[in-house]
Amino acid sequence: MPDFDLTVIGSGPGGYVAAIHAARLGARVAILEQRDTEWGGTCLNWGCIPTKALVQSAEVLKAVRAAGEFGVRVAEPEIDWAAMQGRKDRVVQGMRRGVQALLMANGVEMITARGRLAGGTRVSADGRDLDAGSVLLAPGSVVALPPVPGVELGLTSDTILGLDQVPESLVVIGGGVVGMEFAGIFSLLGTRVTVIEMLDQLLAPLDPEVAGRFQQLMARRGVGFHLGARVEGIARAGEGLRVRFSGGEVDAEQVLVATGRRPNTGDLGLEAAGVATERGAITVDEQLRTSGDRLYAIGDATAKSMLAHAASYQGEIAVTNALTEKRISADYTAIPACIYTDPEIAYVGLSEAQALAAGEEVRVGRFPFSALGRSMILGETDGLVKVVADRDGYLLGLTIMGARATDLVAEAVLALNVGITAAELAHVVHAHPTLPEAIAEAALDVDGRAVHIAPRRR
């Protein structure tokens, strides 16, 4: 009999969630994480949680500065960066302990070691061999750096979290999600931020209309942009750094290289185990099976959807397929993407541009937050909801930019997952005054029936 029914390599939101699901199915489960300080994976230790903790601190600062607009008199707030960092670290440490406690409570054996495939379903754990009925690979991803001279002088999304002070100026290389979230944090803290992006649009594959509006809002805050620009080098310049790019150069105290992540698939023994990869990502089928027998893979390492919640979703599917007689396939149609900028952005399904490229005959509805009562009450009127439907009115995608967009998208995910029409979504009663009313109004606007904006010209 094998030592375990399932061995999981990696304890991120894919790995630890999968391990708990497996244990609750009655399986004997082992989970490996290579360092004691990394339980919970990148998301918990360097990604989702610490960055959003800093986002919240920046939002509180913004709210205090705006207090006078609400009739509340306060002194000019001061930034205590050390306290912000301390709070961030406490949140991370508390959640890391929580993940460990959950694994222990479910009877999962936690092993601190680098796991490598050792043939069949055996895993080598720093000298200890583990034999299991199935193996689940959830090694996550690592920072991907471009081949640019001097790139090592810049910060990464991991190392920027350890800054000992707020920089006076910051160049962000990369206008994707990570880059724009940090640009938002530091611009609210008073840093002069410049963003350099190789593409002609920020936050691809976000709806271009929404991306353009977001750029305008950030520019209004003082963030500078160089789009369609390729970085050619980073060098020291006085006490700071100089970034050369096609079209010019810019100096700053710090440089953040936010050019994405790549699957963390090195030194896993994949080739020897017969596990196929493509461009560094583990190849899986719809049931999350690799080309190796009884070997499954989930999360960033598969490059299917490099989001924490997608990894958790894949983990449950892979465990079900590995340990039961059921066969479930992953469906990525309704996986939401959330961007914690100011204002927040979230989307699910197809954008208008993607739908048109796919040959759909689309109908589009829009509703601005500036026309929403709850937004006016909150003083957060920037943004809009955009609904994309096919010619018969069935939902293809929704994009939200505005206050609490990352919470609001849950309704859009459910609507898309169920497969309803824009008219059916609009018919659902939405409480007043609330932010979700913007979704209902945008859905009404697909048919030109939005109530709280001027009627379309016919």
The partner residues of 337 in beta bridges, in order of sequence, read 347
CATH number of 151-259: 3.50.50.60
Taking the C-alpha atoms of residue 52 and residue 121, their distance in angstroms, rounded to an integer, is 37
* Digit-coded pLDDT (tens) for 3-31: 999 999 999 999 999 999 999 999 999 99
The residue-averaged pLDDT of 182-206 equals: 97
Q: Distances from the Cα of 223 to the Cαs of 22, 191, 355, in angstroms? A: 47, 9, 31
Domains 4-142+262-323 and 337-445 share a fold: no
Q: Percentage of the chain surpassing pLDDT 90?
A: 98
> Residue 1: its pLDDT value, please?
84
Q: Is it the case that residue 457 has pLDDT exceeding 80? A: no
Q: Could you tell me if 404 and 422 are in contact, meaning their C-beta atoms sit under 8 angstroms apart?
A: no
The residue-averaged pLDDT of 248-256 equals: 98
> What are the two backbone dihedrals, phi and then psi, of residue 190, each rounded to the nearest 5 degrees?
100, 0
Name the active-site residue from 309, 427, 432, 452: 432
Q: Could you tell me if 428 and 440 are in contact, meaning their C-beta atoms sit under 8 angstroms apart?
A: yes
* Digit-coded pLDDT (tens) for 219-229: 999 999 999 99
Report the chain's mean pLDDT, rounded to a whole number. 97
Taking the C-alpha atoms of residue 306 and residue 48, their distance in angstroms, rounded to an integer, is 12
- The label of the residue with tokens 């810019």 reads 250
457 versus 315: the higher-pLDDT residue is 315
Q: Is 415 exposed, middle or buried (0-12, 13-18, 19+ CB in 10 A)?
A: buried
What's the alpha-carbon Rg for the chain, to the nearest Å?
23
Q: Percentage of the chain surpassing pLDDT 70?
A: 100
Q: Is 51 helix (H, G, I), strand (E, B) or coil?
A: helix
Sign of the Cα torsion 250, 255, 261, 264 reads positive
DSSP for 189-218 reads TT-EEEEEESSSSTTTTS-HHHHHHHHHHH
Nearest in space to 323 (alpha carbons), one of 93, 48, 130, 136: 136
Q: Could you tell me if 396 and 364 are in contact, meaning their C-beta atoms sit under 8 angstroms apart?
A: no
- The label of the residue with tokens 């001279």 reads 149
> What are the two backbone dihedrals, phi and then psi, of residue 71, each rounded to the nearest 5 degrees?
80, 20
Eight-state DSSP code of residue 259: -
> Residue 458: its pLDDT value, please?
56
430 is a catalytic site residue: no
Domain coordinates in residue numbering, the chain: 4-142+262-323, 151-259, 337-445
Q: Give the contacts of 27 (CB within 8 A, at least 6 positions apart).
A: 4, 5, 6, 323
Q: How far apart are the first and last CA of the chain?
A: 73
> What are the two backbone dihedrals, phi and then psi, of residue 221, each rounded to the nearest 5 degrees?
-80, -10
H/E stretch holding 100 reads helix 81-105
Bin 333: left if φ > 0, else alpha if -120 < ψ < 50, else beta. Answer: alpha
* Digit-coded pLDDT (tens) for 82-130: 999 999 999 999 999 999 999 999 999 999 999 999 999 999 999 899 9
Confidence of residue 213 (pLDDT cuts 50, 70, 90): very high
Structure tokens at 293: 């027998």
Taking the C-alpha atoms of residue 410 and residue 414, their distance in angstroms, rounded to an integer, is 6
* Digit-coded pLDDT (tens) for 29-59: 999 999 999 999 999 999 999 999 999 999 9
Helix axes 177-188, 208-220, angle to 10 degrees: 20
* Digit-coded pLDDT (tens) for 274-292: 999 999 999 999 999 999 9
Q: Rounded to two decimals, what is the model's pTM?
A: 0.96
* Digit-coded pLDDT (tens) for 61-89: 999 999 999 999 999 999 999 999 999 99
The residue-averaged pLDDT of 129-157 equals: 97
Peptide bond into 343 cis (omega under 30): yes
Confidence of residue 135 (pLDDT cuts 50, 70, 90): very high
The partner residues of 224 in beta bridges, in order of sequence, read 194
Q: For 4-142+262-323, which CATH class?
A: alpha beta
Q: For 337-445, which CATH class?
A: alpha beta
Peptide bond into 205 cis (omega under 30): yes
Nearest in space to 324 (alpha carbons), one of 68, 21, 113: 21
Confidence of residue 373 (pLDDT cuts 50, 70, 90): very high
- The label of the residue with tokens 């193996």 reads 135
